[in-house]
């Protein structure tokens, strides 16, 4: 049984990842400063991984085979920019440093589609749909911290035997949020569909947390044969909008006019994940939203 350590295990994404890993036969260790880690975890610990000493203590105590790093300040502008940048970058460095130095075989780090730069005044995509080759243009502390996390992964991938990868999960929707629970912004999924300006801020991207968990399983399985340090988008098979995305996107992002013509799927492409991992999201708002 592979032992897998999940940081941020009590979060909206972490809960589903813990559950899926345990169901797949992993011995899951949950690390989170907040209570509420799923009972599927074999053990839990409220460690502060912004402290490098605590990060090393966690790795040496549990000796995991794999680490899935999800812990972060997950909502832009929810704290000061200085704190967001400090916490997220320190977490990424400490987890990778302690994992690599203690001989962890696999490390997966969560990044974000925000590294692309959407939300910047005047920003526009270079092409659509957006894939992993698209230029990066982070514009706030959160998106910049995620780009740094990706560079941390790339640095260790160049210099260590540990197999690492980063992924950019789209706007995560936890299972209970389909039934009306508040999302991380405080409104509901139905609100995001009824008021396009809410989902339009993030280019109508989203991802069911259970599909994200399936992505993590597929990535861990394929890590040994992938080039070290790969980056993947992970998103739903459609856009979070009731109208055609080719019409909705230019309305909230005028710079997409012309580029969005003929676009029928999501703004962010997951073709790379399908090709290299055999993964595609199976859930959409059309199948999951509780009417």
Could you tell me which of 43, 50, 38 has the C-alpha nearest to residue 14?
Answer: 38
Contact assessment for residue 20 and residue 211, using Cβ atoms and an 8 Å cutoff: no
Say whether pLDDT at 264 is over 60: yes
For the segment 95-113, the average pLDDT, to the nearest whole number, is 98
Predicted pLDDT of residue 1: 73
**Pairwise CA distance, residues 1 & 206, whole Å:** 32
Pairing outcome for strands 106-110 and 66-69? parallel
Contacts 24+ apart (CB under 8 A), 40-47: 41/6, 41/9, 44/9
For the segment 63-84, the average pLDDT, to the nearest whole number, is 94
Predicted pLDDT of residue 98: 98
Could you tell me which of 77, 206, 236, 205 has the C-alpha nearest to residue 143?
Answer: 77
Could you tell me which of 171, 138, 135 has the C-alpha nearest to residue 266?
Answer: 171
CATH 3.20.20.330 fits 3-288, yes or no: no
pLDDT tens for 8-37 read: 999 999 999 999 999 999 999 999 988 666
Predicted pLDDT of residue 123: 94
pLDDT tens for 192-251 read: 999 999 999 999 999 999 999 999 999 999 999 999 999 999 999 999 999 999 999 999
Tokens of 119: 């939300």
Distance between alpha carbon 85 and the CA centroid of its chain, in Å?
17
**pLDDT band of 121, cuts 50, 70, 90:** confident
Predicted pLDDT of residue 97: 98
Say whether pLDDT at 261 is over 60: yes
Name which residue leads in pLDDT, 288 or 1. 288
Tokens of 267: 């703004």
**pLDDT band of 65, cuts 50, 70, 90:** very high
Predicted pLDDT of residue 291: 56
Tokens of 92: 């990424």
* SS3 (DSSP) at 44: strand
Domains of the chain, by residue range, sit at 3-288
Q: What are phi and psi of 111, to 5 degrees?
A: -110, -140
**pLDDT band of 40, cuts 50, 70, 90:** confident
Pairing outcome for strands 163-169 and 230-234? parallel
- Distance between terminal CA atoms of the chain? 40
Predicted pLDDT of residue 36: 67
Q: What are phi and psi of 43, to 5 degrees?
A: -155, 155
């Amino acid at each position: 049984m592979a032992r897998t350590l999940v940081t941020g295990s009590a979060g909206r994404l972490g809960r589903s990842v813990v559950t899926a890993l345990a169901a797949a036969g992993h011995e899951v260790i949950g690390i989170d400063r907040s209570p509420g880690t799923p009972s599927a975890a074999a053990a839990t610990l409220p460690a502060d991984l912004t402290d490098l000493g605590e990060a090393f203590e966690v790795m040496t105590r549990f000796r995991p085979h794999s680490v899935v790093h999800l812990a972060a300040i997950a909502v832009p502008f929810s704290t000061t920019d200085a704190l967001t940048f400090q916490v997220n970058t320190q977490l990424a460095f400490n987890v990778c440093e302690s994992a690599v130095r203690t001989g962890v075989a696999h490390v997966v780090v969560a990044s974000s589609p925000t590294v692309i730069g959407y939300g910047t005044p005047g920003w526009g995509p270079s092409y659509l749909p957006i894939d992993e080759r698209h230029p990066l243009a982070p514009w706030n502390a959160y998106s910049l911290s995620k780009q740094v996390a990706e560079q941390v992964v790339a640095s260790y991938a160049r210099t260590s035997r540990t197999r690492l990868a980063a992924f950019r999960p789209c706007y995560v929707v936890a299972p209970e949020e389909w039934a009306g629970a508040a999302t991380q912004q405080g409104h509901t999924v139905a609100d995001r569909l009824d008021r396009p300006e809410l989902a339009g801020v993030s280019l109508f991207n989203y991802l069911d947390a259970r599909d994200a968990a399936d992505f993590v399983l597929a990535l861990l399985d394929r890590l040994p044969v992938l080039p070290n340090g790969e980056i993947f988008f992970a998103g739903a098979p459609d856009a979070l909008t009731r109208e055609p995305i080719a019409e909705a996107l230019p309305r909230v992002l005028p710079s997409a006019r012309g580029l969005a013509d003929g676009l029928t799927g999501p703004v962010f492409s997951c073709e790379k994940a399908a090709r290299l991992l055999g993964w595609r999201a199976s859930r959409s708002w059309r199948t999951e939203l509780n009417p």
